[in-house]
Amino acid sequence: MKIRLAMVMVAALAALVLPSFAAPEEYRVRAVSFLQGNQSPEIHVHDPAGTATAGRVRVKSFLNHEYDLLDTKGGAVVLTGKADPASAKIPEEVIAQLELPGKPGAYILLLLPGEKGSPRAKAVVVDSSAKAFPPGSVMVMNQASAPVTIELEKKPFEFKAGETRIIKDLPVGENNSAGMKASWERGGKREAIASGIWTDPGEKRSLQIVLQNPGSGRAELKGLRDVAKP
C-alpha cells in the first residue's frame, strides 16, 4: 500500500513539474471566392513586408471538409497569387489585404468584390468553430452599405450595414423549410433583393451573405452550405 501511494505521489509531482509536449492547435483555413472572371486556384498568404509567407490556401466556390494549414500567429497579411513573398510588395500582384485573428483555430476566408473601381478584393475571415458558428444555425453577413431585412416565414430579421449575426432556430413551415424575402433600404426607398426558400440546415450549417455589386451597386444574396463538422 505504501509503495502504491508513493507511486501516485511521484506521478502527480511529475505532472506538475514536467512540461507539456501537446501539439499546439492548428490554424486551419478554407477559402471561398465570390469574385468574377478568371481566378487563381490558390492564394498565398504573405507578410506585408514581403519577407515571409504563411503558406497557401486553395480557393473554391463551395465549402467541404478540406482545409489548408497556415504557419501564422495572425495579424496583417497580404494575399497574392504567387508563392514568392516579395509579391506582397508589387501592387498589381496583390489580391487583398486583411487582419487574421490572433489565435489558431478553424476559419473560413471569403473573397468578396471590392469597392467600385478598386482592383483589389475584400477579404473577410469567419470563425467556423462550433462555438462561434453552431451546427444547425444560419450565419447571415450583411456586407452591403445599407441595412437589410430578411423575412423568414414572415418573421423579420434586421441587419445593419456590416453586421453579422447567427440565426440559431430557423423559423420553418411545411417541408422543414422557410419562405424567404430579402430587401434593403437605399436612398430612402425599400428595394427587393431576393426571394426563395431556405431549408433548415439540420446538423449542418448555412452561410448567407449579402453582397453589393461594385458595377451596378445593387445588393445580391449568396448562400453557402457547410457540410463539414465543426
Residue spans of the domains in the chain: they are 23-129, 130-230
Q: Work out the angle at residue 143's Cα, subtended by the Cα atoms of residues 58 and 102, and round it to the nearest 5 degrees.
A: 55
CATH number of 23-129: 2.60.40
pLDDT-based confidence at residue 69 (cuts at 50, 70, 90): very high
CATH topology of 23-129 equal to that of 130-230? yes
Give the other-Cβ count within 10 Å of 170's Cβ: 20
pLDDT in tens, 146-199: 999 999 999 999 999 999 999 999 999 888 999 999 999 888 889 999 999 999
Answer for the pair 183, 149: CB distance below 8 angstroms, yes or no. yes
Average pLDDT over the chain reads 89
Q: How far apart are CA 51 and CA 22, in angstroms?
A: 30
Residue 147: the pLDDT is 95
Of 221, 63, 215, 218, the C-alpha closest to 142 is 221
Judge contact between 151 and 181, C-beta under 8 A: yes
Fold observed for domain 130-230: Immunoglobulin-like (2.60.40)
Whether the pLDDT of residue 117 is over 90: the answer is no
Q: What is the DSSP letter of 63?
A: B
Does 39 score more than 80 pLDDT?
no
pLDDT in tens, 49-67: 999 999 999 999 999 999 9
If you search the block for the grid coordinates 458595377, which residue do you land on?
215
Query: What would the mean pLDDT of 121-139 be, rounded to a whole number?
Result: 97
